[in-house]
Structure 1
Amino acid sequence: MLAVAGGMIITMAGRVIDRGTLLVDNGKIYGVENGIVIPRGAESVDVSGKVVMPGMIDAHSHLGIVEEIYREEGDDCNESTDPVTPHLRAIDAINPADLGFRDALAGGVTTVVTGPGSANIIGGEMAAVKTHGTVIDDMIVRFPVGLKAALGENPKRSYGREKKTPATRMASAAILREALVRGQEYMKKSSSGIAKNAAAFEKDLKLEALAGVLKREIPLRVHAHRADDIMTAVRIAREFQVDLVVEHCTEGHIVARKLAELRIPAVVGPVITNRAKVEMQGLTLQTARVLSEAGVLFAIMTDHPVVPIQYLAVSAAMTVKGGLTVDAALRAVTIDAAKILKLDHRLGSLEPAKDADFVVMDRHPFDFLCRVEQVFIDGVKVYSLI
């Protein structure tokens, strides 16, 4: 057993312990105690004067897929040869040796969602992975964690300039609908007597991936910055009765009440960025606050490498400048991010039986001078500043 004792523990489970002990056993959290509690035979780590909190979760990135340093050699983000590629799998492109994984640990990020980019209407399956390891199969927390789709400027730019479809927002929506309809028809065939006859039924990997969304096993995670694109994603999700997560949600403040009414979560960001394209003209630090006040469940992302992943805490802190409460901002990179990923039974807070993923810092994570000193994943120290 490991006893991490003496620090201020931010549990993200409704309490902050000024001076407590985090107990870890077999890679899981065994308990969170008031005061110094070191069981007989336990290894102890003195964190007096430090802050202990759950490892942070970046709910949207391209870590390991768009590699640090490399350009085309390490860029596997977009298969810009076909606007519909649901069968692509993030885990086939993630390089655990990407330097970004080291940066994630240095920033206190222990879990990330990484996946394809937004050049395609449907880009492929996303993965939630731990940020330490050498074999991606051993780092996976949940796969797939969603199917990436995109509306707005990016698909138009990728294909329209080549005189290919989609060249308009109408075509983008139509292509997404067509794909989902094909998925529905495929599911009907696969569940009918036809599927029992191998000669009459042929598996289609693209449609198999779409079936996961249509069965509501995973959400459709749609890149949408502008309010009208967000509502197109909502409209299509309701038509096909699938679960939706709005990615980026730059103008989410405009449609916050509708998202709240329909209980549609969002992953907001990147926060530390400029208005890089027209669909981001509504960028404001107040988006997270408005979503929170409306009752929308949301997380904060970096969109790494757009914003380097080690700045996830800084990104969340910036939303506080926009009026979000400190607690809500912390939740957006811990327990609320875990809820969106349906991983809150394992991650996002320091509670018994959850994964022992936690960070030791020299001060509050939103303090500009904060330094991450130690990071533990599954109860094992994987990063140390000293």
Structure 2
Amino acid sequence: MYLIKNGRIHVGDGTVLDGCDILTEGRVIRDIAPGICCQEAEVIDASGCEIFPGFIDPHSSVGAMGMPSRYLDNQEKTDPLTPQLNVKYAIDPDEIDAQEFYKSGITAVGLTPGNANVMGGQIAVCKTAHMKMADRLVKEKAALKCSVTSEVKSVYGGRNQMPKTRMGAFWIFQEALRKAKAPEEQEKGKLICEIFEKGSMPAFVAAQTAGEIQGVLEMMKTEHTSLVLVDGYEFDRALEEIKRQNAGLILGNVSDCSQVTKHGMDLGKICDLNENGNLVAFTASNGGFSEGREVFLWTAIEVYRAGADAEEVVKMMTLNPAKMLGVSDRIGTLETGKDADLSIYTGHPVKTYAARVRTSMINGEVVF
């Protein structure tokens, strides 16, 4: 049991609380109120500090990359359609632990298949602390990972196998959707139908260029699942289409501006999506491969510098990804009854690079 006193609390929904304390009990938040007293609790003095919900990277390959050998257990490159695969079985907890995400305030990640397949498998949500898988797994089968990026073409085209082109990738995607509606379809087709026709889970579709993004939006117009675009480096060139379909966006790593699709991107347009009600989040991954934990914060800072309100950016790091992954009932905001996942910063990490994590808590345990 911990009692965190004297800090400035950023709830994660845009609200900031001054003069309130946080009491945790077990793995959850028991109370948030002014002047809490509890003799049994260990007091953490957060004077002069900022308290945030645990940040969530909703699209991470760490845990399945097989570093340093990179055996890529989240890339089943034998069939472009593998929606039935569960990334939970690709996770190496030691690899997640080695990254120490919580030292940058990241307390949960959406572990995902890579970009090699048109439909690559199912995403799982996992805590980043050193603990048993049963304790760190928040939700399996949180979303279906899909891709229409150039990696699909490079994997299968190199074997002289469809898809060798973008039109081939889209045809395979559309044909899978069409066949899934047939009554004689077996397990794979029934799963695709459950997702796209009945909306049993959202679809996270990797699309980087304006052409890829517009193609995905057109293809998904008649489907009934929630659509989240991943990477989306040319989102600003398809802004109106994204707004019309209320698609979500997980913006990939923007710190490496050497790639053509990132150069010249208007990050200020993130504000337009946010004001329209589109869910926006960030990831430290790039093309399906995760990079350092700092990248997550760097992208947030760049969006803030482009004109977004700091608390709206915090929401993009907390509540929005929790909603995308269907876990906002447990994580994403600091509220009574939710998991006690939080970080205490020396400053506001969206406003300054100088802010540092002083304390990080996951499931009510101090992990840093």
Contact kept, 8 Å, 2:2 with 2:41, in 1: the verdict is: yes
Alignment root-mean-square deviation, CA? 2.1
- Aligned pairs for 1:316-355 (under 5 A) are 316-355=300-339
Q: Which protein is bigger by CA-based radius of gyration? A: 1
Contact kept, 8 Å, 2:57 with 2:108, in 1: the verdict is: yes
Contact kept, 8 Å, 2:236 with 2:266, in 1: the verdict is: no
1:269 has 2:252 as partner:
yes
Find the partner of 1:124 among 121, 125, 129.
Answer: 121
SS at match of 2:177: helix
Query: Which amino acid in the other structure matches residue 245 of structure 1?
Result: V
SS at match of 2:70: coil
Distance 1:311 1:279, change over 3 A: closer
- Aligned pairs for 1:15-26 (under 5 A) are 15-26=15-26
Find the partner of 2:282 among 284, 295, 300.
Answer: 300
Distance 1:4 1:338, change over 3 A: same
Q: Which runs of 4+ in 1 moved over 4 A?
A: 278-282
1:155 has 2:152 as partner:
yes
How many residues are treated as equivalent by the alignment?
A: 364
Unaligned runs of 5+ in 1: 191-202
Number of the residue aligned with 2:65: 66
- Aligned pairs for 1:102-117 (under 5 A) are 102-117=99-114
Number of the residue aligned with 1:363: 347
Distance 2:90 2:221 in 1: 31
1:174 has 2:159 as partner:
no
Query: Which amino acid in the other structure matches residue 268 of structure 2?
Result: Q
- Give TM-score, length-normalised by structure 1: 0.87
SS at match of 1:239: coil
Q: Displacement, 1:57?
A: 0.6
Distance 2:79 2:341 in 1: 39
Number of the residue aligned with 1:2: 2
Query: Which amino acid in the other structure matches residue 331 of structure 1?
Result: K
Contact kept, 8 Å, 1:4 with 1:45, in 2: the verdict is: yes
Q: Identity over aligned residues, as a percent?
A: 27
Unaligned runs of 5+ in 2: none
SS at match of 2:18: strand
Q: Displacement, 1:279?
A: 4.6
Query: Which amino acid in the other structure matches residue 314 of structure 1?
Result: W
SS at match of 1:343: coil
Contact kept, 8 Å, 1:159 with 1:167, in 2: the verdict is: yes
Distance 1:245 1:218, change over 3 A: same
1:315 has 2:314 as partner:
no
Q: Displacement, 1:21?
A: 0.8
Number of the residue aligned with 1:194: none
Number of the residue aligned with 1:197: none
- Aligned pairs for 1:165-244 (under 5 A) are 165-185=162-182, 188-189=183-184, 204=187, 206-214=188-196, 215-244=198-227
Q: Displacement, 1:257?
A: 2.4
Distance 2:263 2:161 in 1: 26
Q: Displacement, 1:323?
A: 2.0
Contact kept, 8 Å, 1:219 with 1:244, in 2: the verdict is: yes
Distance 1:345 1:99, change over 3 A: closer
